[in-house]
């Protein structure tokens, strides 16, 4: 079944003409791949903006070898370009390297959708249907290859969820195995913050869901307290990282745009009558 789901994922995402869909937004379709190339070639601005140290900047005027002006993008973070640079170092750089990476991310995501559903329901049929929905839903397939951070963020999120469920269901595991699971959970969650800033919501949602998860998976009170402490420590680390990353400052551009073009009922009605974007 897993092989079948992988084949479906590839069938719906690999373009027949060999031309990948890079996305509808020029900014996202361009800067992540270029930032990955800059990291690969050790090119970039001499200094980073102090209010957004984890954001990326790309050459606006000139070339990578002799750039005259760098353009910062505070709302775009370094996690996805960094993975592109590592991927390019192994397989070589190309304009579609981001799409190829996201294709692999989609394959990994469908596997973990299957595993998460199997862990929750313990029913292979339900897990297969969950993977099938992810594999063949058109919006996941079309936008699953664009060179933006969302497709790669998807695989980070589903991996965090799987590790979280494993940690909450580790009542019978040895302490060493629990620590390994918690370490993987923490590392993945913290790294996901450098891919998409919205992934900080994982650090908020996981502790809220913890009482329900532990009640379903744990029989010993001491084990519940231990897992709760580990999850809270991870969320605390995520909060510290968000402060170091100045995540609130990265929303400044969107806040200014919202002030200039406020969302009102009239504008929403006009948007709906026009058929959306």
Residue 143's pLDDT is 67
Residue 240's pLDDT is 95
Of all residues in the chain, the percent with pLDDT exceeding 90 is 38
Strands (E), the chain: 55-62, 67-77
Q: Which of 112-116, 172-176, 216-220 has the highest mean pLDDT?
A: 112-116
218 band by pLDDT with thresholds 50, 70 and 90: low
Residue 137's pLDDT is 86
- DSSP letter assigned to residue 57: E
Q: Which of 9-23, 110-124, 157-171, 258-272 has the highest mean pLDDT?
A: 110-124
Q: What are phi and psi of 57, to 5 degrees?
A: -130, 140
**Angle (deg, nearest 10), helices 79-91 and 175-193:** 100
Residue 104's pLDDT is 92
Q: Which of 135-149, 152-166, 200-214 has the highest mean pLDDT?
A: 152-166
Residue 193 has pLDDT above 90, yes or no: yes
- Lowest model confidence (mean pLDDT) among 50-54, 93-97, 247-251: 247-251
Match 């469908």 to its residue by tokens: 110
Give every CB contact of residue 81 below 8 A, 6+ residues apart in sequence: 32, 33, 35, 36, 38, 39, 56
Mean pLDDT confidence for 121-139: 91
Residue 63's pLDDT is 83
- The CA distances from residue 248 to 80, 184, 260, in Å, are 20, 26, 19
Residue 80's pLDDT is 94
Residue 48 has pLDDT above 90, yes or no: no
* pTM, entire model: 0.85
Residue 39 has pLDDT above 60, yes or no: yes
Condensed to tens digits (0 to 9), the pLDDT of residues 64-109 reads: 888 888 888 888 899 999 999 999 999 999 888 988 999 999 999 9
Residue 239 has pLDDT above 60, yes or no: yes
Mean pLDDT of the chain: 85
- Lowest model confidence (mean pLDDT) among 24-38, 110-124, 182-196, 229-243: 24-38
Residue 217's pLDDT is 60
Q: What is the C-alpha separation between 86 and 135, in angstroms, rounded?
A: 26
User: Nearest CA to 109 among 161, 153, 155?
Assistant: 155
- DSSP letter assigned to residue 219: -
Mean pLDDT confidence for 189-196: 95
253 band by pLDDT with thresholds 50, 70 and 90: low
Q: What is the C-alpha separation between 75 and 234, in angstroms, rounded?
A: 23
Give every CB contact of residue 209 below 8 A, 6+ residues apart in sequence: none
Of all residues in the chain, the percent with pLDDT exceeding 70 is 89
């Amino acid at each position: 079944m897993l092989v079948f789901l992988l084949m479906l994922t590839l069938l719906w995402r690999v373009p027949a003409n060999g031309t990948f869909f890079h996305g509808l937004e020029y900014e996202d379709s361009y800067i992540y791949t270029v930032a990955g190339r800059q990291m690969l070639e050790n090119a970039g601005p001499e200094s980073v903006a102090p209010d957004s140290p984890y954001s990326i900047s790309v050459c606006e005027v000139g070339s990578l070898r002799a750039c005259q002006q760098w353009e910062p993008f505070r709302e775009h973070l370094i996690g996805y370009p960094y993975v592109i640079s590592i991927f390019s170092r192994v397989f070589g750089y190309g304009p579609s390297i981001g799409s190829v990476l996201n294709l692999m991310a989609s394959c990994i995501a469908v596997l973990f959708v299957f595993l998460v559903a199997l862990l929750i329901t313990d029913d292979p049929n339900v897990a297969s249907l969950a993977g099938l929905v992810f594999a063949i839903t058109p919006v996941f397939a079309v936008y699953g290859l664009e060179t933006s951070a969302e497709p790669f963020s998807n695989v980070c999120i589903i991996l965090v969820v799987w590790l979280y469920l494993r940690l909450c269901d580790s009542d019978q595991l040895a302490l060493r195995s629990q620590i390994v699971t918690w370490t993987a959970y923490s590392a993945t969650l913290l790294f996901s913050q450098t891919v998409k800033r919205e992934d900080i919501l994982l650090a908020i949602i996981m502790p809220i869901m913890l009482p329900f998860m532990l009640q379903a998976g744990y029989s010993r009170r001491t084990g519940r307290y231990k897992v709760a402490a580990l999850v809270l420590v991870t969320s605390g680390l995520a909060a510290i990282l968000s402060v170091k990353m100045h995540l609130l400052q990265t929303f400044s551009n969107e806040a200014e745009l919202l002030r200039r073009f406020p969302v009102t009922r009239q504008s929403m009605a006009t948007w709906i009558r026009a058929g959306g974007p």
